[in-house]
Amino acid sequence: MIEFPINAWLATYPDKIFVWNPDGKYLGYPYVNPQTKHYVGPEKIIGRYIQEVLPSEIGAKVLSVMRVAWLGHQMQICTIQLPLEGVTHKVCIRFFPQDHIIIGLVNDYKLLNNYSLNSPH
């Protein structure tokens, strides 16, 4: 297996982009790769919280890493696994805190199945 360095995620174009407030409320969904699978479509997430959209354990993990990014004022990376249409999709989320929002760049790394991702989260 080929190692995929965590720094390479910084140069990877996202499959999806989310915008949240610091409490985890979805404010926007400005981009999605049309070939990417969706756990919940964009029309169903705006105005809802991460904990309402994702399964409880996954939502708690995503929110926890997002809060670390927000409170530390620095980018954080989180990897999760989501069941989609009977297949588990591995997902990497890069959180970038901004003035009053958090931007999430999301990659479905099933698309990069030749690589392994080493992440502290």
Series of mean pLDDT values for 10-residue runs along the chain (121 residues): 47 84 93 71 86 94 97 95 81 94 86 44 43
The Cα diameter of the chain in Å comes to: 40
pLDDT of residue 51: 94
pLDDT of residue 93: 94
Using an 8 Å Cβ cutoff, are 38 and 15 in contact? no
What token pair was written down for 114? 């030749």
pLDDT of residue 37: 65
- Domain map (residue ranges) of the chain: 2-117
Q: Measure the N-to-C terminal CA separation of the chain; round to a whole number of Å.
A: 20
- Please tell me the pTM assigned to this model: 0.77
Distance CA 83, CA 119 (A): 20
pLDDT of residue 10: 52
May I ask the CATH class of domain 2-117? alpha beta
